[in-house]
């Protein structure tokens, strides 16, 4: 029988009269009604999936959706992720229907690319033409393509903190997100999931883990011959290994002193069924939960026992001890679990496959587990060689991997690399081992990835019927115009830049979680740390020594945030750009007692204004700039303390100077000269580049310092050095540490410190920067070439075609691009006044090559990004801080004294850099002093008074920051 479209086409094309039969007319009528009722052409896939319906689908698709392209993206978040959302057989069906399918290349994917090619897919990196991009796990934020349809497991529906930056980016890029987890039928049951294979892999893993745990407890068991799930080519091989172990069990080869083994499966869904399917390869007997007590004591050692636990087996209402399923669905908070009383004491291994919902009772708490860790008396008696078990409950396989969920103390998932840990309920600690006290835990959150081919085919079978309706729509189109089926429509988390109505609760969950975190800190002193760069480590390390200090760290650097959160306790991360989220920053400042800003100095006035608004104290390590000084009256009116210049330079240099100056004044001496030079440098053995420099703080700040103006006092004469690079002509050798071969140049306006230091009598007043000899000459070459230019340079914008360094240099030296290398080199050499060392530095940095110039607002900004990549500290390399202050004194007797203060600090190979220590610890100590009421002055505070610098200098010495002083008396 022909389809309706074919009939119409034949009637138009043929001159003869075409008369359909009665049966054909009936079929055509059915097709017409079906097409008019079903959403667009996509559900024809389900309605006409058999042979007779293919022609209708073909024509509808050809008319309406011939341009739709599907892309299967590469999985790149986890090294073990070898699955795909569709198998080649599904791709073949799609290509038969005329759709173009792109597959990103991946050597990690378990199904080889050639299988997808055979199915009609195109292997290519660029997937931007696709209207629907599908994967298994989340893509990195920086690889999202705006205004596309995406489908993957987003793990955002509970406002999971780790994935909120991803959701923010999806909203920002106006992406339509379909989440497999929310594709459910009319009963709320998931229709697209890997559940069965999570259960299968989880069961294999925990049998392997039990073999290791039993061995650690002194027992060889047949489980020792079962490996991890990924060690098998497929599940059939794993089943055979489990059967082999089961055969040994049936022969009575389990140690008698361990007693009968009992396995409890929670849940009745696909996860639990998959685990039970693998368990059934053992000689097993399933019993009711109330029978566990008996079989755990006197069961047959030639078999293992299993039970499937449903809600009615362990949940009871608090007031009457009954279970009412309808009432539980409405009021789960009115129920408690008796699992720890009625079931857990007789359980060897718990296989948990249930997800926990807010307000519902947990299956096991820490307190419950403590009561379960009691010795088991063996019926056969125990000896040294045949020990008893330390307790009945030996292992938990939490296949749900729901952190902080039904298993309260499962707060962090294990991994395929490190699948097991031990939970000690008495100490409430976990340790990565199968030995020691506690319960063996396995809670891998990507179990199906261990059996990737079968999992892909299984998942693809479930997803395939819904692919077409997601595929035929454009992500940029309004959601309300899409005629999705309920299954697909209800899985749309975000679209057109907003959360869909069903998922707007996610934002409320985020806000309530943040509020809860702040409330948790309400009994603590609350610190808001802005920035997560080099210096933040020592700040956090110092402040978190006090358990009564809770810290919120805000940063745009997600990876750094994650590392800091893992390393330091009592730290709450917030991933955001402070300067772009003014309202959110204001809310955060309001809920803290003190703010520490490690942001660039230009951001401090912005932060300070928020602190003034909410009367919150502030500490920074940066200079007290004119913009900050303008806030003096507002700070005083708000009654808050703003501590500035609390780092190294400025910071420790002030404190060391004032300690010496105050002591001199105590004996009636006057200061006649003050000179101080400081520099952050690579240790000598790591200064192996043309600049003799590597970056441990802001590269752009380092570069701009070389073109700043400077003012200082020399023998009573004020010396002014104009901006633009003249500073580099004022370099002088520094011979106080001859082996270091240092040079120095003036830094900013030194004369302004005469009054705050109280040394108006000084005839020489100079503060400067230290570098290795050769640095200034090299930087002078960059100045000549116009590379240290902070002015806006639109050609380097991210919205313009990228330039290469070769092209940029052609523009800077005034020759036409493209130019031959030798022509450009000669032009640059001329611009450098024939200075060979400067040319060598330019070539060493690759500035005459084809490497792209980083996008930036200015040329110096681009050079800073380039240098940060070219001149970082490598693994095992360390930096160094060198500071030398010389203070000339005249005593009442008339004799002269020169005071020398030396500070030399090296970074730790595996710890903090010298720069991080010498900036971070003073800032953290000052913050703690403000919190503890040791610094009480209101207004702008600098470390120039003894009550401030005295305690800080004492405490930095305790952190290993040592300095020395010596004197030379002149007659």
> DSSP H helical segments within 181-333, as ranges?
195-216, 235-250, 270-279, 292-298, 311-314, 325-330
- Cα dihedral value 732, 738, 739, 742, nearest 10: -10
pLDDT bucket at 490, cuts 50 / 70 / 90: very high
Write the pLDDT tens digit of every residue in 791-800.
999 898 888 8
- Cα dihedral value 528, 530, 533, 539, nearest 10: -30
- Rounded Cα–Cα distance for residues 961 and 907 (Å): 11
Measuring CA to CA, how many Å separate 645 from each of 154, 622, 759? 44, 5, 19
HEC string for 564-591? HHHHCCCEEEEECCHHHCHHHHHHHHHC
pLDDT bucket at 13, cuts 50 / 70 / 90: very low
pLDDT bucket at 829, cuts 50 / 70 / 90: very high
Q: What is the mean pLDDT of residues 764-792?
A: 92
Q: What is the mean pLDDT of residues 565-569?
A: 81
Q: Determine the pLDDT at residue 325.
A: 93
**Cβ-based burial of 126 (10 A; exposed 0-12, middle 13-18, buried ≥19):** exposed
**Cβ-based burial of 81 (10 A; exposed 0-12, middle 13-18, buried ≥19):** buried
Write the pLDDT tens digit of every residue in 417-432.
999 999 887 666 677 7
Q: Determine the pLDDT at residue 377.
A: 65
| pLDDT > 60? residue 335 | yes
Q: What is the mean pLDDT of residues 277-281?
A: 97
Write the pLDDT tens digit of every residue in 664-678.
999 999 999 999 999
Q: Determine the pLDDT at residue 67.
A: 67
| pLDDT > 50? residue 314 | yes
398 is catalytic: no
Q: 39-43, 74-78, 150-154, 663-667 — which is least confidently predicted? A: 39-43
CA angle 550, 553, 559 (to 5 degrees): 130
- Coil, strand, or helix at residue 549? strand
Q: Determine the pLDDT at residue 705.
A: 83
Task: Report DSSP letters for 80-132, one per residue.
Answer: T----SS-HHHHHHHHHTT-EEEE---SS-SS-HHHHHHTT-EE-S--TT-SE
CA-nearest of 593, 643, 534 to 913 is: 534
Q: Determine the pLDDT at residue 405.
A: 86
Q: Which helix (H) or strand (E) holds 940?
A: strand 939-941
- Rounded Cα–Cα distance for residues 461 and 91 (Å): 11
Is the peptide bond prior to 692 cis by the omega test (within 30 degrees of 0)?
A: no
- Rounded Cα–Cα distance for residues 135 and 461 (Å): 15
CA-nearest of 123, 83, 74 to 100 is: 123
CB atoms within 10 A of CB 382: 16
- Coil, strand, or helix at residue 719? strand
Q: 53-67, 297-311, 506-520, 839-853 — which is least confidently predicted? A: 53-67
Residue with the bigger pLDDT between 738 and 719: it is: 719
| 896-906 and 879-890 strand pairing | antiparallel
| pLDDT > 60? residue 655 | yes
287: which DSSP letter? -
Mean pLDDT of the chain: 87
Sign of CA dihedral 82, 87, 91, 94: negative
| pLDDT > 90? residue 359 | no
**Cβ-based burial of 864 (10 A; exposed 0-12, middle 13-18, buried ≥19):** buried
pLDDT bucket at 696, cuts 50 / 70 / 90: low
Tokens 């390399």 sit at which residue? 877
CA angle 540, 159, 589 (to 5 degrees): 40
Q: Are 743 and 728 in contact (CB under 8 A)?
A: no
Q: Which helix (H) or strand (E) holds 613?
A: helix 604-614
- Coil, strand, or helix at residue 330? helix
Q: Are 343 and 296 in contact (CB under 8 A)?
A: no
Q: Determine the pLDDT at residue 436.
A: 82
Question: The tokens of 849 are what?
Answer: 């090559």
Q: What is the mean pLDDT of residues 234-247?
A: 97
CA-nearest of 684, 661, 745, 676 to 709 is: 745
Write the pLDDT tens digit of every residue in 202-237.
999 999 999 999 999 999 999 999 999 999 999 999
Write the pLDDT tens digit of every residue in 852-890.
999 888 999 899 889 888 888 888 888 999 999 999 999
Q: Determine the pLDDT at residue 14.
A: 42
Which range among 56-60, 124-128, 388-392, 528-532 has the greatest average pLDDT? Answer: 124-128
| pLDDT > 90? residue 182 | yes
pLDDT bucket at 58, cuts 50 / 70 / 90: very low
| pLDDT > 90? residue 45 | no
Q: C-alpha 904: how far from its chain's center?
A: 35
| pLDDT > 80? residue 8 | no
Q: 84-98, 197-211, 699-713, 850-864 — which is least confidently predicted? A: 699-713
Q: Determine the pLDDT at residue 48.
A: 37
Q: Determine the pLDDT at residue 688.
A: 86
Q: What is the mean pLDDT of residues 399-409?
A: 87
**Cβ-based burial of 639 (10 A; exposed 0-12, middle 13-18, buried ≥19):** exposed
What share of the chain in percent tops pLDDT 90?
Answer: 60
* Catalytic, out of 398, 649, 653, 879: 649
Question: The tokens of 173 are what?
Answer: 């890029």
Q: Determine the pLDDT at residue 971.
A: 64
**pTM of the prediction?**
0.54
Q: Determine the pLDDT at residue 698.
A: 63
Residue with the bigger pLDDT between 864 and 971: it is: 864
| pLDDT > 90? residue 347 | yes
- Rounded Cα–Cα distance for residues 534 and 537 (Å): 7
Write the pLDDT tens digit of every residue in 104-113.
999 999 999 9
Q: Determine the pLDDT at residue 517.
A: 63
pLDDT bucket at 576, cuts 50 / 70 / 90: confident
Q: Determine the pLDDT at residue 509.
A: 85
| pLDDT > 60? residue 367 | yes
Q: Are 865 and 699 in contact (CB under 8 A)?
A: yes
Q: Determine the pLDDT at residue 433.
A: 80
Per-position b or e across 549-576, b if 16+ CB within 10 A of its CB: bbbbbbbeeeebbeebbeebebbbbbbb
Q: Are 262 and 346 in contact (CB under 8 A)?
A: yes
Spatial CB neighbours of 939, under 8 Å, sequence gap ≥ 6: 632, 635, 636, 641, 642
Per DSSP, what are the bridge partners of residue 190? Answer: 184
Write the pLDDT tens digit of every residue in 115-149.
999 999 999 999 999 999 999 999 999 999 999 99
CA atoms within 13 A on the CB side of 402: 17
CA-nearest of 378, 414, 375 to 396 is: 414
Measuring CA to CA, how many Å separate 685 from each of 681, 688, 692, 873? 11, 7, 10, 12
Beta strand extents in 438-583 (DSSP E only): 439-442, 492-495, 498-499, 525-530, 549-555, 571-575
């Amino acid at each position: 029988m022909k389809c309706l479209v074919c009939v119409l086409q034949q009637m138009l094309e043929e001159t003869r009269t075409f008369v359909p039969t009665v049966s054909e007319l009936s079929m055509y009528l059915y097709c017409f009604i079906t097409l008019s009722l079903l959403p667009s052409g996509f559900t024809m896939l389900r309605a006409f999936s058999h042979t007779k319906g293919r022609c209708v689908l073909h024509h509808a698709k050809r008319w309406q959706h011939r341009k739709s392209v599907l892309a299967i993206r590469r999985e790149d978040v986890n090294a073990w992720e070898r699955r795909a959302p569709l198998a080649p057989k599904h791709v073949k069906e799609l290509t038969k229907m005329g759709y173009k399918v792109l597959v990103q290349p991946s050597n990690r994917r378990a199904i080889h690319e050639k299988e997808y090619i055979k199915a009609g897919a195109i292997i290519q990196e660029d997937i931007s033409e696709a209207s629907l991009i599908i994967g298994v796990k989340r893509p990195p934020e920086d690889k999202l393509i705006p205004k596309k349809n995406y489908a993957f497991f987003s793990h955002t529906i509970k406002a999971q903190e780790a994935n909120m930056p991803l959701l923010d980016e999806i909203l920002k890029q106006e992406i339509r997100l379909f989440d497999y987890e929310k594709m459910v039928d009319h009963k709320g049951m998931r229709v697209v999931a890997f559940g069965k294979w999570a259960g299968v892999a989880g069961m294999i893993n925990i049998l392997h883990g039990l073999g290791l745990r039993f061995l650690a407890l002194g027992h060889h068991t047949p489980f020792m011959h079962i490996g991890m799930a990924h060690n098998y080519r497929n599940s059939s091989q794993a089943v055979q290994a489990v059967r082999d172990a089961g055969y040994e069990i049936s022969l009575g080869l389990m140690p008698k002193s361990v007693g009968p083994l009992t396995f409890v499966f929670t849940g009745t869904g696909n996860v639990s069924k998959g685990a039970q399917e693998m368990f059934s390869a053992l000689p097993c007997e399933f019993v009711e939960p109330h029978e566990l007590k008996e079989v755990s004591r006197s069961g047959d050692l030639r078999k293992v026992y299993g039970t499937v636990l449903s809600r009615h087996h362990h949940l009871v209402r608090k007031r009457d001890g009954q279970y009412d399923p309808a009432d539980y669905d409405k009021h789960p908070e009115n129920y408690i679990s008796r699992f720890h009383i009625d079931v857990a004491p007789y359980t060897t291994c718990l296989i948990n496959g249930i997800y926990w919902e807010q307000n519902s009772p947990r299956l096991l708490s820490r307190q419950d587990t403590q009561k379960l860790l009691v010795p088991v008396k063996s019926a056969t008696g125990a000896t040294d060689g045949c020990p008893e078990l330390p307790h009945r409950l030996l292992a938990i396989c939490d296949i749900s991997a729901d952190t902080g969920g039904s298993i309260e103390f499962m707060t962090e998932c294990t991994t395929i690399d490190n699948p097991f840990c031990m939970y000690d309920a008495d100490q409430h600690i976990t340790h990565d081992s199968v030995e020691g006290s506690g319960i063996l835990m396995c809670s891998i959150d990507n179990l199906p990835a261990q059996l990737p081919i079968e999992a892909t085919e299984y998942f693809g079978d479930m997803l395939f019927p819904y692919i077409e309706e997601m595929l035929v729509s454009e992500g940029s189109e309004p959601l309300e115009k899409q005629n999705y089926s309920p299954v697909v429509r209800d899985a749309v988390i975000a679209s057109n830049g907003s959360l869909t109505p069903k998922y707007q609760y996610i934002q409320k969950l985020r806000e309530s979680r943040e509020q809860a975190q702040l409330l948790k800190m309400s009994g603590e002193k609350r610190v808001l740390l802005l920035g997560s760069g080099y210096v933040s480590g020592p700040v956090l390390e110092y402040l978190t020594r006090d358990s009564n200090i809770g810290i919120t760290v805000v940063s745009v650097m997600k990876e750094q945030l994650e590392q800091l959160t893992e390393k330091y306790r009592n730290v709450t991360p917030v991933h955001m750009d402070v300067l772009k989220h003014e309202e959110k920053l204001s809310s955060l400042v309001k809920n803290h007692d003190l703010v520490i800003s490690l942001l660039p100095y230009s951001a401090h006035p912005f932060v300070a204004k928020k602190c003034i608004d909410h009367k919150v104290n502030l500490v920074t390590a940066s200079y007290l700039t004119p913009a900050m000084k303008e806030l003096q009256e507002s700070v005083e009116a708000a009654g808050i303390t703003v501590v500035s210049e609390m780092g190294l330079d400025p910071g420790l240099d002030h404190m060391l100077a004032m300690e010496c100056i105050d002591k001199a004044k105590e004996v009636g001496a006057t200061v006649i000269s003050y000179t101080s030079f400081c520099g952050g440098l690579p240790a000598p053995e790591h200064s192996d580049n043309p600049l003799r420099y590597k970056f441990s703080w802001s590269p752009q700040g380092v570069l701009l310092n070389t073109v700043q103006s400077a003012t200082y006092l020399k023998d009573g004469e004020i010396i002014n050095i104009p901006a633009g690079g003249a500073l580099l002509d004022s370099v002088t050798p520094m011979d106080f540490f001859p082996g270091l071969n240092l040079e120095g140049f003036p830094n900013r306006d030194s004369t302004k410190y005469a009054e705050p230091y109280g040394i108006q009598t000084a005839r020489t007043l100079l503060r400067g920067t230290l570098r290795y000899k050769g640095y200034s000459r090299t930087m002078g070459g960059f100045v000549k070439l116009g590379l240290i230019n902070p002015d806006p340079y639109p050609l380097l914008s991210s919205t313009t075609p990228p330039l290469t360094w070769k092209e940029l240099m052609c523009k800077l030296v005034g020759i036409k691009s493209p130019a031959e290398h030798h022509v450009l080199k000669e032009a640059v050499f001329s611009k450098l006044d024939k200075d060979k060392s400067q040319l060598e530095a330019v070539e060493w940095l690759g500035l005459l090559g084809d490497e792209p110039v980083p996008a930036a607002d200015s040329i110096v900004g681009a050079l800073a990004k380039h240098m940060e990549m070219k001149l970082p500290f490598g693994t095992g390399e360390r930096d160094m801080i060198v500071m030398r202050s010389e203070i000339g004194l005249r005593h009442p007797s008339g004799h002269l004294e020169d005071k020398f203060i030396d500070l030399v600090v090296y970074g730790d190979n595996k710890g903090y850099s010298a720069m991080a220590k010498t900036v971070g610890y003073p800032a953290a100590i000052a913050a703690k002093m403000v919190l503890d009421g040791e610094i009480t002055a209101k207004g702008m505070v600098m470390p120039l008074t003894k009550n401030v610098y005295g305690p800080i200098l004492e405490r930095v010495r305790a952190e290993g920051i040592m300095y020395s002083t010596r004197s030379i008396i002149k007659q």
